Amino acid sequence: MAREKMVRETQVVESDRRATQDRQFRQKELAKRQIVLRKATNFVWWFTGIVEGLIGLRVVLRMLAANPGNPFADFIYALSGAFLWPFQTLVNNPSSEGGVVLEVTSIIAMIVYLLLAWVFVELLWLILGRERA
């Protein structure tokens, strides 16, 4: 009887040890995955900030009627144009005779890119951010 009790206690202790090791392993893996997710999230927000800044600078330059022949303005227009092509014919941009243009399409693009980044980050955390049993 004492031997059976000792065997049971040994099995319980061994089972607890394995459960503790498994829990520690899963916590370490979750921590590693969350570090990668945080870095990916930071990259997405960084890239979104760059795109938003370029488009925002374009909106300001167009509202100030910046000379498109200027190398800086031309650089900003060319770089931001790559992100604006899906929105170019969405709506008409109001303009005045002095060359001032309110780029409504650019503002719409900024909103869309911000929403897309937010949805992408949320999906990353939803799919990869939680521990699975």
d(CA 54, CA 72): 12
What is the pLDDT confidence band of residue 6, given thresholds at 50, 70 and 90?
Answer: low
Report the pLDDT value the prediction gives residue 70, as an integer from 0 to 100: 95
Among 5-14, 23-32, 94-103, the range scoring the smallest mean pLDDT is 5-14
d(CA 129, CA 30): 8
